[in-house]
Amino acid sequence: MAENLIKPENLVYDKTKVLTDRVLHYCPGCGHSTTHRMLAEAIDELGIQGETIGIAPVGCSVLAYYYFDVDMTEAAHGRAPAVATGIKRVLPDKYVFTYQGDGDLAAIGTAETIHACNRGENFLIVFINNGIYGMTGGQMAPTTLENMKSTTSPRGRDVKTMGSPLKISELVASLPGTYYVARHSVHTPANARKTKRAFKKALEYQKEKKGTCLIEVVSNCPSNWKMTPIESNKWMEENMFPFYSLGDIKAPK
């Protein structure tokens, strides 16, 4: 009887075929899992699964190749944009994306990020910003907020000695090579849908050879923030969003 009810008009959700059946390793409540799903659904809905290549470096996303059923390759810490540049130049008709955290993209990989964007390399950079080093022990990242505590800033980030948080999206938006830069989140269904629409637009712009697209996803990190998922989402809304405002930062007119 139940099988007779599984019809297209009764189907509420069907897992995209761009995600594998492996169980995600991310901490409960982490935004990586939902971001994976939104990106995978965008690839699926555009019908480009067989034409997509992803690059994941070191960090929480290091095992992304387990979850995306597309061609994937690893990169050294921070070097995903350099690897993506090589792949895209050799295979210009493929859809190429990098999937990077803030410790990777905005710290050890700052040079690769900035120069790829400045050159206008024609691929998508997916940037997860949770304001902390997630995998390696909760250290302060370039995106850690002022007064935000971490294992290397236990009294909170002091901008006088540690510098101010980097707004990577605003920074790369000022470069001539970037075409579309946006900042979103995935902590509610409505926000997740906006993120997926941004991914789809970025991939469509890549087909049109418009230049570098960067989609930043402001996320929580319950484990290293020492909060429950619900508490971390509330903290993110009250503290991260006022500094890292959501929406399009650079978009075609």
Mean pLDDT to the nearest integer, 98-111: 95
Residue 2 forms part of a structural domain:
no
For residue 221, the domain's CATH number is 3.40.50.970
Which run of H or of E encompasses 222?
helix 222-225
- In a domain, residue 21? The reply is no
- The verdict on residue 14 lying in a domain is no
Q: Is there a domain that residue 17 lies in? A: no
- Residue 143 in tokens: 């995106």
**Mean pLDDT in the chain?**
94
> Considering the domain boundaries, does residue 15 fall inside one?
no
What confidence category does residue 7 fall into, taking pLDDT thresholds of 50, 70 and 90? confident
What pTM does this model have? Answer: 0.94
Burial string for 184-217 (b: 16+ CB within 10 Å, else e) reads: bbbbeeebbebbbebbbbbbbbbeeebbbbbbbb
**Count of structural domains within the chain:** 1
129-172 tens-digit pLDDT? 999 998 888 899 999 999 999 998 999 999 999 999 999 999 99
> Parallel, antiparallel, or unpaired: how do β-strands 247-250 and 178-185 relate?
antiparallel
| pLDDT of res. 3 | 60
| Domain annotation covers residue 127 | yes
Domain around 62: 27-250
pLDDT tier for residue 4 given thresholds of 50, 70 and 90: low
DSSP 111-123: HHHHHHHHHT-SS
Cross-strand pairs, 183: 216, 247
What's the CA gap between 11 and 3, in Å, rounded? 12
Residue 178 lies in a domain: yes
| pLDDT for res 125 | 98
- Three-state secondary-structure class, residue 214: strand
Domain assignment present for 6:
no
Q: What residues pair up with 54 in beta bridges, in sequence order? A: 72, 97
CA distances from 31 to 6, 52, 92, 109, 219 (A): 30, 22, 30, 21, 5
